[in-house]
Amino acid sequence: PLPEPEPIREDELDLQSLPGIGASTAQRLQEQGISSAQDLIALGVEGLADVKGIGRTKAEMVLDILEKMLETG
């Protein structure tokens, strides 16, 4: 099982703190203007899955964890 995510505010997201997002994926997201939790949520599963190195399964996992992080923040 995955560890419980740390609570965050939308404006303090470090993309690399999300499971499955490494330095190169975080850089690709930032190059597309994605830098906040709100940006990731706006992309949705389809948009995030289209980013090289992510794919649908990882996109679903990242967004699920992100939503939990925001709920507890």
Confidence class for position 2, pLDDT limits 50, 70, 90: low
pLDDT digit string, tens, across residues 18-59: 888 889 999 999 998 998 888 999 999 999 999 988 999 999
pLDDT digit string, tens, across residues 6-29: 555 545 578 888 888 889 999 999
C-alpha to C-alpha distance for 1 and 36, rounded to whole angstroms: 25
C-alpha to C-alpha distance for 53 and 50, rounded to whole angstroms: 9
Q: Which residue has the tokens 């996109």?
A: 59
Q: Which residue has the tokens 């993309």?
A: 15
Whether 21 contacts 40, CB under 8 Å? no
C-alpha to C-alpha distance for 56 and 38, rounded to whole angstroms: 19
What pTM value is reported for the model? 0.74
